[in-house]
């Protein structure tokens, strides 16, 4: 089925001087409410979806501390929220090419390239997947709010691979429930630093906000905002100091795979937040895996400039047809280039498990 199109619409252009501060003391009637739900009742003209995003992005503080949307309020606490203007329309359509892996009258699966932000946010008002979708389709679900047309789940900016989009609200709600109930099987492929001791294992460690760095997550066993997280992995190939792994997250926490692999001593290659570097050259890659220093070790060509994590496969039962679907995304060129170098330089030959 060919994608539909619609004329371009104008997206809102928020600016810093339009932001306003909202201050409120929690009443007894509001005690125990989630902050995103409470704010939606307090503030006219702002949807709960929009306010949840504001809180998620760090725009809300309770007694001076940034909180998450699920934070439960207590009587007497002081809320401060920095409110950008609410969007009055969806994202501006942009003629950005997309690779469609699957499409029917209900669902679309997109092969998201690395570097593409999923939906508009501060600092990323254009070039997003949402803007591309607004160009390719005349109608998508609006369950996620005007800035997230059809988008059922998300991937980090630098994670490539399969992402699902709903054309109708019915499908959006059904698929969201399936994700929540863990009835969608997710498989990722990662290139990790380190030599994993086990060929396969399950990592069960709770994840919460990092104690010092706002943009990071961490293993937090006793933090009130921590949530259980479970990741299964299976080693695919072993090289000297680098391992490729198939990863099967059973929960969907922020940065889950990246945090869990880092926790077991195998951070994702080129992960700026958790591996401490954001790119690698051909020469640096040779130096990591070669016991001697070949001529190629001086090559300063950058072969990867984002974290080596790819959403390879989704398997689920279609909510309407009741048929099992498996949607796959091929490994992108940058990660394939790294693999080619690893395999070529591994004198003993990769050991596949």
For the annotated catalytic residues, the residue numbers are 156
pLDDT at 290: 64
pLDDT at 7: 34
pLDDT at 324: 97
pLDDT digits over 110-144, tens only? Answer: 999 999 999 877 666 788 999 999 899 988 887 77
pLDDT at 143: 73
Helices (H), 208-332: 256-263, 282-289
Residue 295: pLDDT band by 50, 70, 90 thresholds?
low
- How far from 325 is each of 106, 165, 196, 247, 295, CA to CA, in Å? 13, 14, 32, 19, 47
Q: Are 210 and 218 spatial neighbours (Cβ–Cβ below 8 Å)?
A: yes
pLDDT at 12: 37
Rounded mean pLDDT, 152-160: 94
Q: Are 190 and 257 spatial neighbours (Cβ–Cβ below 8 Å)?
A: yes
> Does position 348 have pLDDT exceeding 50, yes or no?
no
Residue-averaged pLDDT of the chain: 87
pLDDT at 291: 57
Residue 203: pLDDT band by 50, 70, 90 thresholds?
very high
Rounded mean pLDDT, 160-167: 96
Q: How far is CA 174 from the centre of its chain?
A: 20
pLDDT at 292: 55
What is the β-pairing status of strands 107-112 and 160-166? antiparallel
Quote the DSSP letter at residue 72.
B
pLDDT at 126: 81
Q: Which of 48-62, 76-90, 212-226 has the lowest mean pLDDT?
A: 76-90
pLDDT digits over 81-106, tens only? Answer: 998 876 656 678 899 999 999 999 99
Q: Which of 52-56, 211-215, 292-296 has the lowest mean pLDDT?
A: 292-296
> Which pairs count as long-range contacts for 271-276, CB under 8 Å and 24+ apart, including other chains?
271/307, 271/308, 271/309, 272/307, 273/213, 273/215, 273/216, 274/216, 275/193, 275/307
Cα–Cα–Cα angle for 301, 307, 107, rounded to 5 degrees: 120
pLDDT digits over 299-318, tens only? Answer: 889 999 999 999 999 999 99
Q: Which domains does the chain have, with CATH numbers?
A: 19-83 (3.10.290.10), 100-180 (3.30.2350.10), 185-352 (3.30.2350.10)
Number of neighbours of residue 74 by Cβ within 10 angstroms: 14
What is the rounded distance in angstroms from the CA atom of residue 60 to the CA atom of residue 39?
10
pLDDT digits over 235-287, tens only? Answer: 999 998 899 999 999 999 999 999 999 999 999 999 999 999 999 999 888 87
> Does position 1 have pLDDT exceeding 50, yes or no?
no
- Tell me how far apart the terminal alpha carbons of the chain are, to the nearest angstrom: 40
Rounded mean pLDDT, 52-57: 91
Please, what's the largest Cα pairwise distance for the chain? 71
In the chain, what percentage of residues exceed pLDDT 70?
Answer: 86
In the chain, what percentage of residues exceed pLDDT 90?
Answer: 65
Helices (H), the chain: 35-42, 48-56, 129-136, 169-180, 256-263, 282-289, 333-345
pLDDT at 37: 82
């Amino acid at each position: 089925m060919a994608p539909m199109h619609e004329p371009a619409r104008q997206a809102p252009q928020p600016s810093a001087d339009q932001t306003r501060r909202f201050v409120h003391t929690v009443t007894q009637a509001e005690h125990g409410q989630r902050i995103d739900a409470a704010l939606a009742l307090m503030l006219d003209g702002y949807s709960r979806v929009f306010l949840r995003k504001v809180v998620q992005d760090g725009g809300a503080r309770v007694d001076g501390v940034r909180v998450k949307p699920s934070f439960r309020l207590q009587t007497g606490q002081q809320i401060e929220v920095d409110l950008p203007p609410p969007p009055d329309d969806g994202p501006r359509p942009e003629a950005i090419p997309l690779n469609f892996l699957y499409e029917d009258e209900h669902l679309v699966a997109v092969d998201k390239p690395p570097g593409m932000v999923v939906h508009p946010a501060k600092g990323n008002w254009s070039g997003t997947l949402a803007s591309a979708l607004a160009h390719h389709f005349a109608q998508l679900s609006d369950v996620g709010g005007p800035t997230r047309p059809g988008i059922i789940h998300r991937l980090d900016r630098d994670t490539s691979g399969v992402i699902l989009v709903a054309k109708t609200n019915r499908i959006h709600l059904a698929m969201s429930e399936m994700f929540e109930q863990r009835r969608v099987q997710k498989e990722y492929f990662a290139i990790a630093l380190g030599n994993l001791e086990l060929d396969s294992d399950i990592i069960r460690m709770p994840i919460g906000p990092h104690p010092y760095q706002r943009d990071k997550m961490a293993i937090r066993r006793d933090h009130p905002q921590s949530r259980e997280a479970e990741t299964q992995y299976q080693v695919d190939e072993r090289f000297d100091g680098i391992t490729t792994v198939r990863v099967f997250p059973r929960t969907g926490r922020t940065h889950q795979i990246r945090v869990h692999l880092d926790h077991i001593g195998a951070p994702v290659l080129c992960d700026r937040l958790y591996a401490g570097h954001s790119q690698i050259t051909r020469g640096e890659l040779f130096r990591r895996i070669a016991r001697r220093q070949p001529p190629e070790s001086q090559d300063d060509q950058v072969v990867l400039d984002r974290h080596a994590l790819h959403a390879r496969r989704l398997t689920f039962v279609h909510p309407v047809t009741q048929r099992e679907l498996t949607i796959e995304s091929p490994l992108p060129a940058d990660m394939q280039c790294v693999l080619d170098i690893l395999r070529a330089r591994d004198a003993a030959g990769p050991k596949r498990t």
